[in-house]
Structure 1
Amino acid sequence: MSNAPQLRIPATYMRGGTSKGVFFRREDLPERAREPGPARDALLMRVIGSPDPYGKHTDGMGGATSSTSKCVIIAKASLPDHDVDYLYGQVSIDSAFVDWSGNCGNLSAAVGPFAIANGLVDPARVPENGICTVRIWQANIGKTIVAQVPVVDGQVQETGDFELDGVTFPAAEIVLEFLDPADEGEGGGAMFPTGNLVDELDVPGVGALKATMITAGIPTVFVNAADLGYDGTELQPAINEDRSALAKLEAIRVAGALRMGLIQAPEDAVTRQHTPKVAFVAPAKDYVASSGKRIAAGDIDLNVRALSMGKLHHAMMGTASVAIATAAAVPGTLVNLAAGGGGREAVRFGHPSGTLRVGAAVAQVDGQWTATKAVMSRSARVLMEGAVRVPADSF
């Protein structure tokens, strides 16, 4: 019978936006897990408690949802004019898989505070009181994120009165700027990889759907809620308890991934669960959020619901929020049309937990749309710090 000792690995458990995950300094990981490969993936899966056929993560730090099955590795910056490298792993719940294909916009809010608290930002640049600007290299997608982190008495300010729908308690506001958010390296080499603002997407078993496919923030496939028989006010139970609905939405995701050039064959989607995202949009309409809060149509520009790792998200992923902001700013996309059309520098959209305001700056260059930045506010907080324990023979 195996009786391997447990390793003690320094770690911090943090909430960022509406997600939470286990944060590591790269230098604190066991040496064989500091580089990409099976050892690193196996370690992070054991930390989270995956794969778990029971879907509970009882024997790990995960929360058995896409929002809480996450790990982050932070290191000193590998590029000039940046403070840290940020690498994000989305850990599958019931399969032995870690997806490194995209970013987590919500946990991006926790990277700056973690970097400051762990001495990864030059102390000379951390004010005694004020805002510390942390330049983050998002290593998964090769993009820069600028975090504006409040500091009080030389320490990261975590408490405050900024309220974020989907998070129970208020905290300090952290403003995030996602620079040049379109991932031109994927698909067709453009923000809209098909070259169109709206496509007819043929989905096996579903039929032809109008779709806007964009790579800003994270590759995302937007469709109209009405084309799926929805009105855009749905909460999690309406989708996540309907197996046929989940199967239909996964089919849309796979068809979109193929059309965007993210995968070469349908079976490849199994190894790319984190991206692309699928979201459905609808004009503004009154609804009651999951918290019981009433959302009035007059207070929002549109409704959006998005799926993450095969389930409807309880709020909205940060990266998908970037995609929403960018698509809304481009006249003629499904997102823009659902919001009422025209030029828009910012929108407030409704999601299952409430509302969120996001903005983006876009322009046409040589006939192609580009985005210079997307901006949103989030918050972050340390939940626990110390060390995680994993059996030494688990990786």
Structure 2
Amino acid sequence: MTHVPQIKVAAAYIRGGTSKGVFFRLQDLPAAVRTPGAARDAFLMRVIGSPDPYGKQTDGMGGATSSTSKTVILSKSGKPDHDVDYLFGQVSIDKAFIDWSGNCGNLSAAVGPFAISGGLVDASRIPQDGTAIVRIWQANIGKTIIAHVPITNGAVQETGDFELDGVTFPAAELRLEFMDPAAEEEGAGGSMFPTGNVADDLEVPGVGTLRATMINAGIPTIFVNATDIGYTGTELQDAINGDAKALAMFETIRAHGALRMGLIQHLDEAAQRQHTPKVAFVAKPADYVSSSGKRVAAGDIDLLVRALSMGKLHHAMMGTAAVAIGAAAAIPGTLVNLAAGGGDRHAVCFGHPSGTLKVGAQASQEGGEWSIVKAIMSRSARVLMEGWVRVPGDAF
């Protein structure tokens, strides 16, 4: 019997924000994988260890959660005034597909550092000490992200004292600016509010008619009130992820919201679009104890937010959903804005299962249409391992 040997491909395993992923330079990928298609998807799934009916991704680099089942491909950008093109793939854990429909805001924090270390940013743009500005083209959604990367002795600084709830150890602070983050989704007409309203009544069979804010900013997101679905907004993962009935309810809300937003044309399409839209529920501030045992006081936050990613309650907050939260909070009348107390807001600090996060956004209104100039947040990133990943030569 002939055995196909493994091949090795240069890669890095990096934490960005509260996520982890396998990063590749486009030029290092096998020739058949350098263009979108079945070979690329098969290769990346094999790297991560999907599809895995056991749900563990034991035979791959994935960590069996939505925040650790991720891949990134970077290349020098051909776009004017951009340094690097960033393509993100959310790998399904138990099914054979990769969702390319959105960005990962958390891994966005690792793009600038990896691009610098990988020689994808012109050396003249990197100071000996200070901050390197990396101009990123987010290829999934066609948007610009500006990363402010700390540099010490001509190299990316990864260690520091910046603490990010949801990440155990401190690291160097890295600021991200998501420029004009309203997602230009097919069927949504490029509008930040595809329904034309900052809040709507969303009919969800088997659940009821829910007040909802459906927004395309950072990532398409459906916000509902926690109390309308029987929650307080202080829930941790175990309260929801072990409840099959609750997860089915959230998926129903997600599917009907996607249809209302014009992201899908038929309800059954939602199953093949797990990464977007997200579903989140909001509530006014309340005291709670985070997953790490840290006490979060109502007086220290503006509102509570819990969000689901790939069918499960997220352990912290997706970076792109944080952009949506900041954008919605800046616009009067959205459910996020109302939960935060209403009025004009340029930044909010919200409570999530792992603690708190502050995000800012600059909103403007012209001709009745709202837009977000940019959303700003701080994250951190750290290379965990670099070298080569190996996959069987016939895996793709």
Alignment partner, residue 100 of structure 1: 100
Structure 2 equivalent of residue 324 of structure 1 = 325
The answer on 1:296 being equivalent to 2:297 is yes
- Superposition map of 1:137-156 within 5 A: 137-156=137-156
- Choose 181-190 or 127-136, whichever is displaced more: 181-190
Q: Distance in 2 between matches of 1:184 and 1:77?
A: 20
Residue pair 1:188, 1:260 contacting (<8 A) in 2 also? no
- Tell me if structure 2 keeps the 8 A contact 1:103–1:138: yes
Per-residue CA deviations over 1:362-393 (Å, capped at 9, x if unaligned) read: 01011110111000000000000000000010
The residue identity in structure 2 corresponding to 1:145 is: I
| Correspondence list, 1:37-186, <5 A | 37-186=37-186
Q: Report deviation, 1:100.
A: 0.1
8 A Cα contact 1:188 1:194, kept in partner: no
Q: Name the amino acid aligned to 2:197.
A: N
- Cα distance in 1 for residues equivalent to 2:376 and 2:367: 24
Q: Which residue is equivalent to 2:211?
A: 210
The question of 1:309 aligning with 2:310 is answered yes
| Partner AA of 1:131 in structure 2 | T
The residue number in structure 2 matching 1:253 is: 254
Name the structure 2 match of 1:201.
Answer: 202
Q: Deviations over 1:208-262 (max 9, x none)?
A: 1000000000000000000011000000000000000000000000000000000
Q: If the length of structure 1 is used for normalisation, what is the TM-score?
A: 0.99
Q: In the aligned structure 2, how far is the partner of 1:321 from the partner of 1:370?
A: 16
Q: Take 1:45 and 1:303, find their aligned partners in 2: how far apart are those partners? A: 35
2:178 counterpart SS class: strand
Return 5+ residue gaps in structure 1 as ranges: none
What is the rounded CA distance, in whole Å, between the counterparts of 1:271 and 1:2 in structure 2? 36
Q: Contact between 1:202 and 1:209, CA under 8 Å: does it hold in 2?
A: yes
TM-score normalized by structure 2?
Answer: 0.99
Q: CA offset at residue 189 of structure 1?
A: 3.0
Instruction: Identify the residue that residue 390 of structure 2 maps to in structure 1.
Output: 389
Number of residues paired by the alignment?
395
Q: CA deviation at 1:183?
A: 1.5
- Bigger mean CA offset, 118-127 vs 380-389: 118-127
Matches of 1:195 and 1:80, distance apart in 2: 32
Whether contact under 8 Å (1:348, 1:357) holds in the other structure is yes
- Distance, in Å, in 2 between the alignment partners of 1:248 and 1:188 is 28
Distance 1:185 1:118 in 2: 31
Question: Partner letter of residue 282 of structure 1?
Answer: A
Structure 1 contact 217–319 (Cα < 8 Å) conserved: yes
Shift of 1:291: 0.1
Taking the TM superposition and a 5 Å limit, the aligned residue runs for 1:265-280 are: 265-280=266-281
Superposed displacement of residue 2, structure 1: 5.6
* 1:78 Cα deviation from its structure 2 partner: 1.9
1:334 aligns to what?
Answer: 335
Once the two structures are superposed, residues 294-340 of structure 1 have per-residue CA deviations (whole angstroms, 9 ceiling, x without a partner) of: 00000000000000000000000000000000000000000000000
In 2: Cα distance, 1:184 partner to 1:87 partner: 16
CA distance in 1, matches of 2:184, 2:51: 33
Amino acid at match of 2:196: G
Q: Which residue of structure 1 aligns with residue 284 of structure 2?
A: 283
Instruction: Determine helix, strand or coil for the equivalent of 2:191.
Output: coil
Contact 2:182 2:190 in 1 (8 A): no
Q: Structure 1, residues 154-184: CA drift from partner, whole Å, max 9, x if none?
A: 0000000000000000000000000000024
Percent of aligned positions with the same letter in both sequences?
A: 74
**Matched residue type, 1:337:** L
For residues 367 and 243 of structure 1, the distance between their equivalents in structure 2, rounded to whole angstroms, comes to 41
Taking only aligned residues, the RMSD between alpha carbons, in angstroms, comes to: 0.7
Distance 1:65 1:278 in 2: 17
Equivalent residues of 2:84, 2:115 under 8 A apart = yes
Output the CA distance in 1 between the equivalents of 2:18 and 2:247: 22
Query: What letter matches 2:88 in structure 1?
Result: Y
State the alpha-carbon separation in 2 of the partners of residues 197 and 85 from structure 1.
32
CA distance in 2, matches of 1:5, 1:257: 43
Alpha-carbon separation, structure 2, partners of 1:47 and 1:185: 28
C-alpha deviation, 1:14, in angstroms: 0.2
- Distance across 1 between alignment mates of 2:185 and 2:99: 18
- Matched residue type, 1:266: L
Preserved CA contact (<8 Å) 1:263 1:269: yes
Corresponding residue for 1:223? Answer: 224
Task: For 1:364-383, list aligned pairs within 5 A.
Answer: 364-383=365-384
Compute the displacement of 1:125 (Å). Answer: 1.0
Structure 1: distance between partners of 2:118 and 2:71: 17
Three-state SS of the structure 1 residue aligned to 2:131 is strand
- Pairwise CA distance, 1:204: 1.5
Q: Is the 8 A contact 1:302 1:349 kept in 2?
A: yes
SS at match of 1:67: helix
